[in-house]
Amino acid sequence: MLNIQLRLKEKIWHTSEIYTLKFEKPKDLDFKPGQFINLAVEVNGKQEKRAYSISSSPTEELLMFTIKREDYPEEPEKRAKSVSTGLSKLEPGDQIEAKGPFGVFVLEENPNLVFIAGGTGITPFRCMSKYLLDKKINANITLFYSARAEKDFLFYEEFNKLKNENLKFIPTATRDENFKGNKGRIDENLLNNNIKNFNENTYYICGPKLFVESVEKILLKYNIEKKKIKVDKWG
């Protein structure tokens, strides 16, 4: 674990609330796919920090985070303290303090992987999938990804391009009647229709607490050992 200084190279807005920050990668930073870093920024006159999963793979040149800005339109006091809003104001060349990497939500030996993401919970899976494919590691990945509408899917084109016989991509839109793919939440039906041998896989679930808990409950119903279910709950 290191105290690090990060210099912003590029900022990309995906939607009006979600953006990616690409930093120069410190030479001595070594991280495992799935880990997070605490990013600090000054908000309301104080340095505040929050955890952000690294969305780039260790095989890539830059260090990337993809963040949803919580800007609380009705609550200016909360907005003033929001780290995700503070980070959204950074511009290329700005430097911030950070600490990490942290976390045990990392890949294990099993090559049969099921990734299940809710909303911005896709970030560690973007890192893991890119890493496995870049390193040509023999793995079978099934990626379930729920977002509100087609426009809210992050890395959508990229996952569609990465998709091959080793990466099955199953997006589902919870509130988009016009979406051509699956509609609705990640539920028992969707999992059952797309997973062959439930007990062969290691499961990784990431996203808001309620999302993670609801998916975990379904998996436990299928008698999957608890140690084969890894969770990263946010907030």
Ligand X SMILES: Cc1cc2nc3c(=O)[nH]c(=O)nc-3n(C[C@H](O)[C@H](O)[C@H](O)COP(=O)(O)OP(=O)(O)OC[C@H]3O[C@@H](n4cnc5c(N)ncnc54)[C@H](O)[C@@H]3O)c2cc1C
- x/- mask, ligand X, residues 213-232, rule CB under 6 A, reads -------------------x
Cβ distance to ligand X smaller for residue 53 or 201: 53
Cβ distance to ligand X smaller for residue 83 or 191: 83
Asked if 153 is part of the footprint of ligand X (rule: CB under 6 A), the reply reads: no
CB of 71 to ligand X, least distance (A): 8
**Helix-, strand-, coil-residue percentages of the chain, each rounded to 5:** 25, 35, 35
Size of the site for ligand X (CB under 6 A): 21
Cβ distance to ligand X smaller for residue 99 or 183: 99
CB of 82 to ligand X, least distance (A): 3
Looking at residues 19 to 38 of the shown chain, list those that interact with ligand X (rule: CB under 6 A).
36
- x/- mask, ligand X, residues 47-86, rule CB under 6 A, reads ---xxxx-----------xxxx-x-------x--xxxxx-
Q: How far apart are alpha carbons 69 and 87 in whole angstroms?
A: 8
Asked if 120 is part of the footprint of ligand X (rule: CB under 6 A), the reply reads: yes
Asked if 130 is part of the footprint of ligand X (rule: CB under 6 A), the reply reads: no
Cβ distance to ligand X smaller for residue 151 or 183: 151
Q: How far apart are alpha carbons 56 and 33 in whole angstroms?
A: 8
SS3 111: coil
Reference 124, options 211, 32, 26, 215; nearest CA is 32
CB of 38 to ligand X, least distance (A): 8
CB of 66 to ligand X, least distance (A): 6
First and final CA of the chain: distance in angstroms? 23
The partner residues of 151 in beta bridges, in order of sequence, read none
Closest CB to ligand X: residue number: 84
CA-atom Rg of the chain in angstroms: 18
CB of 49 to ligand X, least distance (A): 6
CB of 48 to ligand X, least distance (A): 7
- Bin 72: left if φ > 0, else alpha if -120 < ψ < 50, else beta: left
Alpha helix positions (H), 82-197: 83-88, 123-134, 156-162, 188-194
Asked if 234 is part of the footprint of ligand X (rule: CB under 6 A), the reply reads: yes
Q: How far apart are alpha carbons 217 and 229 in whole angstroms?
A: 11
SS3 199: helix
Which residues of the shown chain bind ligand X in the complex (CB under 6 A)? 36, 50-53, 65-68, 70, 78, 81-85, 120, 123, 232, 234-235
